[in-house]
Structure 1
Amino acid sequence: MGLFDKLRNEFIDIIEFIDNSNNIIVARFERFQNEIKNNAKLIVREGQQAVFINEGKIADIFNPGTYTLNTQNLPILSTLQGWKYGFNSPFKAEVYFINTRNFIDQKWGTKNAITLNDDRFGMLEIRAFGTYTFKITDAGKFIKEIVGTDGQFTTEEIVEQLKSIIVSRFTDAIGEANMPVESYAANLNELSMAIFSYMKDDFASYGMEVSKFLLENVSMPEEIKKEIFELSRLNKIDFNKLTQYKAAKAIELAANNPSGIAGAGVGMGAGLAMGNQMGQAFNQSQPAQTFNTAQNQQIPPPLPVEAKYFIALNNQQSGPFSLIQLIEMTKTGQLTKETLVWSHGMTGWENAETVTELQNIFTQTPPPLPGN
């Protein structure tokens, strides 16, 4: 709390504010009937401003220094009072002391998670927090816009409003940055600068200035973190070497852990299986062709996978159906040349007769009997 020096008599001749706190932004100088002696001393310390208010209007503003209060030092107040020949003691005015120093280490954070639509992970929620520093740059505007008639105004009375501004600007900056979510941690400084530039005008409208802003952390759901870590590892892993390494470790464990005949058999089987895996992994690193050592002939490729099709029946999607099933459906009239079909690899639904693979199935269906 601030301490005010007063005289013990009815009138005050020294006006000052000594602040022993770290959270008072504005303090009104309290005195008996708002009366101040002519030629009273005003002491404004470094990091302060003193604002005189007369009948609800801001009059004179004093920067750091020591002043003797009279008509020469109070020109605006003198004009408001209408004094032509000086003023008699005492005179009435309200005096507000404003701390213009930096209020450091102010915390901010998102109360609720912010929903984003990421290109790689879809809809996800993030949270963020950090610190900022602010100070008062226009004492008169701050009193008019924020303080009003409050006798003592602290940081606790405005931080929630400031947090709301910061979170709103953080959301804007994230959207404008168009940055993949996995890049946030590596670009905290860039995001901090973007948010800082966004909210300058918001603070200035209150007579304030953000002198420092830090985005310390952006957090996301654990499952998204795991996916990001896994994807980053996949980009670095040599799968052939990894398979060989794991196969060798498995053989070593099987050899060091025999458990009777059955265990030996299991170990031997595991060893053979791991040996095959090692061989396959080794062969994968060789040229693509694989030869049979006994016959020195190339192993045939795997059988082709039969395409399956979805069809539109009664304006509803049905399937998938094999070619044999589709041939049967042509016999019953369920599938015609105009029926819409779709299969993997097609860009959209098409008439069956336009699909190359289906054109032959209509020729396999016998025409109607004569006379029918």
Structure 2
Amino acid sequence: MGIFDFVKKQFVDVIQWTEEGHGVLAYRYPMMDMEIQYGAQLTVRDSQSVLFVNEGQIADSFGPGLHTLNTKNLPLLTNLQHWDKLFESPFKSDVIFFSHRLQLDRKWGTPNPITLRDPEFGMVRLRAFGIYSYRLSDTALFYKEVCGTQGVYTVEELDGQLRNVMIAELTQLFASSKLPFIDMAANQGQLAQALHAQMTPVFARYGLTLDNLAVENISLPEELQAVLDKRISMNMVGDLNRYTQYQVADAIPLAAQNEGGMAGVGAGMGAGLVMAQNMAQAMAQPANAATPTATQDEIITTLEKLHTLVSKGVLTQAEFDAKKAELLGQIK
């Protein structure tokens, strides 16, 4: 190599990584044809660590601090290069920075519903999603298993793998829990803890530490949710007679303000009351039991007159409400 070729060579005397941008887990310092100057300064920040890699083989590692590079603090690299103790020439090595910052707000979710056997509804399909956070903890393992000497390795490149493994573990967890879907929402915290325990060794295989994991939602696909909503509505209606009474009481003030006044309530809701009473009595009484005479028409007429007195200021709203509750209670 001529003198001019030597002059053209570039030497690195300061090595550092400022972590510009977010979501970078590993960053290989761009060396190209440059060589590291003996005695160069290596700056490793608090959230970082550095590996020196010689021809694919991990040599020396550095934690946070300012390091002067020489044969004393590069013992493994010195041995691999067969340097003597007086070595003072530039040298080459891959220098890889790793970020140990907590990677927050990583999202996971089921791209397709999970089909499970539910003890109450039979076969169901569930969706679930949540968030998790982690940090890089074992740089040597992460280098060997994941990033290698890739120039830049980001959290986005790792998300797909972690998410797919998480969904597989989640499917097994839901199946083994044997919890009805109705109870899963009330037990999201316990399910998250169980999933965290299952995923911790999975993350450790890649040199990562799982920090937090949350199950934010467990739901059914829209068509199944609609069926469940109808079933819940029927359970909430319960006693048809009492439900219809509530509808009448709620509709009286509104109907009185409309054209036709209470007459509309008497004709429409009165018929509803008769139907509801007949259904309730048919289910509650023997076939030969007598059906009591309905008096809802008289009660509705009375309520109409009382409501007129409220509008004229003769009765207060509180007095009307008390009397209305008393009269509606007489409907059998």
Instruction: Show the 5 A alignment for 1:1-372.
Output: 10-236=10-236, 237-246=238-247, 273-274=271-272, 276-277=274-275, 280=278, 290-291=289-290
- 1:322 aligns with none
For 1:178, the aligned partner's letter is K
Residue by residue, what CA displacement relative to the aligned partner does 1:263-313 show, whole Å, maximum 9, x if unpaired?
x9x9988677456446547867998683489xxxxxxxxxxxxxxxxxxxx
Unmatched tracts of structure 2, length 5 or more: 1-7, 293-332
Are the counterparts in 2 of residues 240 and 285 from structure 1 also a CA contact under 8 Å?
A: no
> Per the alignment, do residues 169 and 274 of structure 1 end up closer, same or farther by CA in structure 2, a change over 3 Å counting?
closer
Q: 1:86 to 1:177 in 2, by over 3 A?
A: farther
CA–CA distance in 1 between the matches of 2:250 and 2:68?
88
Rate the CA distance shift 1:243–1:88 in 2: closer, same or farther, 3 A.
same
Give, as a single letter, the amino acid of the residue that structure 2 aligns with 1:51: L
Q: TM-score, normalised by structure 2?
A: 0.73
Of the structure 1 ranges 39-48 and 206-215, higher mean CA displacement relative to structure 2 is found in 206-215
- SS of the residue corresponding to residue 30 of structure 2 reads coil
Counterparts of 1:115 and 1:29, CA distance in 2: 47
Contact 2:113 2:125 in 1 (8 A): yes
Question: Percent sequence identity over matched residues?
Answer: 36
Assess, with a 3 A threshold, how the Cα gap between structure 1 residues 177 and 279 changes in structure 2: closer, same or farther: closer
Partner of 2:311 in structure 1? none
Aligned equivalents of 1:104, 1:128: Cα separation in 2:
19
| Structure exhibiting the larger radius of gyration computed from Cα positions | 1
2-side partners of 1:257 and 1:272: how far apart? Answer: 18
The higher-RCO structure (CA 8 Å, 6+ apart) is 2
Alpha-carbon shift at residue 225 of structure 1 (Å): 2.3
Kindly tell me the number of residue pairs found equivalent between the two proteins.
Answer: 282
Q: 1:290–1:159: structure 2 CA closer, same or farther, 3 Å change rule?
A: same
**Structure 1 residue 21: Cα displacement:** 0.7
Q: Does the 8 A contact of 1:126 with 1:220 survive in 2? A: yes
Letter in 1 for 2:243: L
Greater Cα offset, 281-290 or 58-67? 281-290
Q: Secondary structure at the match of 1:158?
A: helix
Q: Is the 8 A contact 1:251 1:274 kept in 2?
A: no
Going from structure 1 to structure 2, the CA distance change for 1:249 and 1:38 (only over 3 Å counts) comes to closer
Cα deviation per residue 1:94-129 (whole Å; 9 max; x = unaligned)?
Answer: 100000111111122222221122222222222222
Write the letter of the residue equivalent to 1:229: D
Structure 1 stretches lacking a partner, 5+ long: 1-7, 259-263, 294-372
CA contact (8 A) 2:115 2:126 kept: yes
* Distance in structure 1 (CA, Å) of the matches to 2:150 and 2:51: 14
* SS in structure 2 of the partner of residue 89 of structure 1: coil
Whole-angstrom distance in 2 between the partners of 1:168 and 1:98: 29
Task: Give the conservation status (yes or no) of the 8 Å contact 1:132–1:214.
Answer: yes
Query: Contact between 1:185 and 1:218, CA under 8 Å: does it hold in 2?
Result: yes
- TM-score normalised per structure 1: 0.66
Q: How far did 1:33 drift?
A: 2.6
The C-alpha deviation readout for 1:138-179, integer Å capped at 9, x for no partner, is 001101111122111112221111111111111121112211
- After TM superposition, the structure 1 stretch with the greater mean CA deviation from structure 2, 76-85 or 234-243, is 234-243
Deviation of 1:211 after TM superposition, in Å, equals 0.9
Distance 2:142 2:86 in 1: 31
SS in 2 for 1:140: helix
> How much does 1:231 deviate?
3.8
- Deviations along 1:217-265, one digit per CA (max 9) or x if unpaired, are 22212343234334444445343311444467799969x876xxxxx9x
Considering fraction of residues, name the structure with more helix: 2
Tell me: CA distance 1:98–1:280, structure 2 relative to 1, closer, same or farther (3 Å): same
RMSD: 3.4
Measured against aligned partners, the alpha-carbon deviations of 1:55-75 in whole angstroms (never above 9, x if no partner) come to 210011111011111111111
Describe the superposition over 1:5-29 as per-residue Cα deviations: whole angstroms up to 9, x where unpaired: xxx9721111111112112111111
**SS class of match (2:33):** helix
| Aligned mates of 1:85, 1:71 — CA distance in 2 | 7
Matched residue type, 1:242: Y
Q: CA deviation at 1:130?
A: 1.7
Q: Secondary structure of 1:78's match?
A: helix
Residues 330-357 of structure 1, C-alpha deviations (whole Å, 9 max, x = no match): xxxxxxxxxxxxxxxxxxxxxxxxxxxx
Distance (Å, rounded) in 2 between the aligned partners of 1:232 and 1:269: 30
Contact 1:247/1:278 (<8 A) preserved: no
**What is the rounded CA distance, in whole Å, between the counterparts of 2:112 and 2:100 in structure 1?**
32
The answer to whether the Cα contact below 8 Å between 1:182 and 1:228 also exists between their aligned partners in 2 is no
| Aligned counterparts of 2:57 and 2:40: Cα–Cα separation in 1 | 21
